[in-house]
Amino acid sequence: MSQFFQRYGAQIARLTFEHVWLTGSAMLFAAAIGLPLGVFLTRRPGFARPVLGVANVLQTIPSLALFGLLLPVPFLGDRAARLAIVALTGYALLPILRNTYAGILSVDPALIDVSNALGMSGMQRLVKVELPMSASVILAGLRTATVTCVGVATIAAAIGAGGLGELIFRGVASVDNGLVLAGAIPAALLALCADGVLGFAEKRLAVRR
């Protein structure tokens, strides 16, 4: 075991950093798109069905197929990491968008009436009432999206984007179970850590609610 880590420890550390960078970048973009779009859909319910439908379709496309579809796209196909981040953003979008939309709609209508009676503007009501009351639901969507991203990011190695999937693919190609585990175990630990941290934050917000 010590010899294995002496041989592959530096690679595991480097690929873990790449994996975290791919996942983190995708989550930032997905949150930047999904959160405001989810709020917008609560104000314009007529757009909810088609927008959520498109997000659902993105979620059902197999990851390798989505990478392949994006390869010919200008500005994306020439950079594997860029392409992988766009694909991961698409996979992370649905849970964030759906939970933001559902969380805000689940706020007690009586609280909305009270905020309106107090003369709050739409932005004040959103910031002081709706977002705090729906925070745990929104965070649950972020939690699901993060775990999904960590898992799908392993497939990004197939297009040369790096990450822990590189060790898994190399291990499969060389029939080396040690290499497969060297990529799979850190990826699983990353997913468990992200799930645990966000799950703890979700519980804290649920209690405050």
**Residue 51, pLDDT score:** 93
Neighbours of 138 (CB within 10 A): 25
List pLDDT tens digits, range 84-107. Answer: 899 999 999 999 999 999 999 998
**CATH number for the domain harbouring residue 14:** 1.10.3720.10
Burial class for 103, CB neighbours closer than 10 Å (0-12, 13-18, 19+) = buried
Six-digit token string for 12: 């595991």
**Residue 77, pLDDT score:** 55
Give the structural domain span for 21: 2-208
Q: What is the 3-state secondary structure (H, E, C) of 4-67?
A: HHHHHHHHHHHHHHHHHHHHHHHHHHHHHHHHHHHHHHHHCHHHHHHHHHHHHHHHHCCHHHHH
Q: Provide the domain count of the chain.
A: 1
> Running along the chain, 209 residues long, what does each successive block of 10 average in pLDDT?
71 91 94 95 90 89 82 71 89 93 90 85 87 90 93 87 88 86 90 90 68
